[in-house]
Structure 1
Amino acid sequence: MRTMIIASAMLLGLSACGGDAEEAPRAHEYTAAEYASAVTDIARSDDFETDATRQPGELLAFAQIDRGDVVGDYIMGGGYVTRLLAIAVGSDGKVYAFQPEEFIGFRPEYAEEQDETVRRYADAEGNPVNVFPLRGPIAEPGWPEPLDVIITVMNFHDLYISQMPEGTADAAIAMLYDSLKPGGALVVVDHLAAEGGGAEAADQLHRMDREMALTALTDAGFELEAESDLYSRPDDPRDANVFDPEIRGQTDQFAWRLRKPE
């Protein structure tokens, strides 16, 4: 995976000692291999068949997930990302898996899939261990504590669809910013629309206009730290609905890691 760093790299401090300069320790370089236990976890065996396309280890490395992190899976859908995070953060971390009420109202199975995912990581009595379900309006997840990382995969465009109340996108983006700890990261993966597609592309094709999304996020205070071509598929003309059988699972997608300043 090639990752293009957008923000300035962290400067390495030098201290002189007896005239010799000592280099500070290098920042940790995240790799897909460190998440092997999360990717191969038996509790997500149903997900294995889509791993070749969704590249779970690379996604976790791009998101820079650490053991002990408190992470929000914003709009968890079927729970694919939640199940990855459950092992990646470890027993001393937490995953808050948010399913919007609007999604459940449209497709009741989303509630069942949320419950099933939480059960996979519960104790013998059925009590959540490190995966905790949340439900609420799409712009009001009700995170119970500040988060280290929020991940939203292939759902950011839903903030702009016509079924959502006016102002949903602005309210949700402000919420995401406020919900992170200072220095926390927001990871966004979504289907790319053709340039200039605007809100119509989100509503009609379930694709996100890159510039529209980036402007909304940076206006809210986020800084784009890195962009990955992990899900780049340039052969996608970006003009078909993502549920079209001919393109489903093969869409061109962007992957961003944005940072809330310290």
Structure 2
Amino acid sequence: MKTLSKVITLSAILLALPALADSNTEALQQAVDHHSRSEQNKNRDQYRNPLPTLSFFEVTPQSTVVEISPGGGWYTEILAPLLAAHGKYYAAHFPANTSSDYYNRTLAAFKAKLAADPIYSRVSLTEFAPDNSGNIAPAGTADVVLTFRNLHNWYGRGGDDGMVAIFSDFYKALKPGGVLGVVEHRLPADQADGDWTKSGYFPEQLAIRLAEQAGFVLEERSEINANPKDTADYAGGVWTLPPSLRLGEQDRAKYQAIGESDRMTLKFRKPVAQ
């Protein structure tokens, strides 16, 4: 009877999985379509692909999610309503105690955004900086840690060792089996031997190696955010492309036709202890 009971239970779980996946997809779509999102941000969905990206990283309405360096809150506009009822969202923004004018201005603008709409009332604001990454969330509590287009900035501050330290703090914040989701401007492999550190692009293999040094296992890569039109060889770096358009009106139509950068999308897993 015990064996039959186990078979019935397993069958029930397997039957429920497609419905659960459909429910998560619907919730993600509702968050992407949420009325609080700005039209300017929605216009970038074609490049940032939030629904398939968050789905790939296994984000659900019940997840505890830490977003590292949320900037102006592009993903905050999606994650806050998605996680408001049953999940938890930590926005690990710039530290409050800093002498950086840029950090202070950006953090103040983000706080103003949170205060302007009740949908953000359950956002937990924590702190992150490349040399201070240990306070992003309580240890062992996160289902998912997300970082979008940040690796190049961190690497410029601390090189290999600094990046491993940052990834190690992400590792500590995650539950065993938790996911680290990385999206970053991708440097073509044939440019990895050049002076790429100021271009805004990052070598995919280097990102993988440094995350693995911190204990993560690369589980899957995705081309969700790929852009084959991007050659990554611009004098002004990745900021030549939209949305920055660093060169102003010079060849503007050309760069708008290329669109935003080619991006790696990597899913790492914190191993479950045996």
Measured against the shorter chain, the TM-score band is 0.7 to 0.9
- Amino acid in the other structure paired with 1:109: R
Question: How many Å apart are 1:187 and its aligned residue?
Answer: 0.4
8 Å CA contact 1:199, 1:209 repeated in 2 = no
Per-residue CA deviation, residues 46-96 of structure 1 (Å, 9 max, x unaligned), is: 421212221221222112112222111111111111221112223232211
Matches within 5 A, 1:138-153: 138=130, 139-140=132-133, 142-145=135-138, 146-153=141-148
Q: 1: CA distance between counterparts of 2:76 and 2:259?
A: 19
Partner of 1:261: 271
Partner of 1:80: 74
- Pick the aligned partner of 1:212 from 187, 206, 209: 206
Q: 2: CA distance between counterparts of 1:120 and 1:198?
A: 46
- Say how many residue pairs are matched: 241
**Structure showing the higher strand proportion among its residues:** 1
What is the TM-score normalised by the length of structure 1? 0.79
8 Å CA contact 1:65, 1:89 repeated in 2 = no
Q: Does 1:183 align with 2:193?
A: no
The alignment-based identity, stated in percent, is 22
Partner of 2:248: none
Per-residue CA deviation, residues 100-120 of structure 1 (Å, 9 max, x unaligned), is: 347964354311332133224
Secondary structure of the structure 2 residue equivalent to 1:232 = coil
Q: Does 1:54 align with 2:48?
A: yes
Provide runs of 4+ in structure 1 moved above 3 Å.
Answer: 15-18, 20-24, 26-34, 101-109, 120-123, 163-167
Question: How many Å apart are 1:148 and its aligned residue?
Answer: 1.0
Q: 1: CA distance between counterparts of 2:87 and 2:166?
A: 24
Gaps of 5+ in 1: 1-14
Matches within 5 A, 1:1-262: 17=4, 25=14, 27=17, 29=21, 32-46=25-39, 47-101=41-95, 105-106=101-102, 108-122=104-118, 129-138=121-130, 139-140=132-133, 142-145=135-138, 146-161=141-156, 163-164=157-158, 167-195=161-189, 197=192, 200-201=195-196, 203-240=197-234, 241-244=237-240, 245=245, 246=255, 249-262=259-272
CA-based RMSD:
3.0
Per-residue CA deviation, residues 181-208 of structure 1 (Å, 9 max, x unaligned), is: 111101000000121527942x311111
Question: How many Å apart are 1:172 and its aligned residue?
Answer: 0.5
Secondary structure of the structure 2 residue equivalent to 1:106 = helix
**Structure showing the higher helix proportion among its residues:** 2
Q: 1: CA distance between counterparts of 2:267 and 2:47?
A: 20
What is the TM-score normalised by the length of structure 2? 0.76
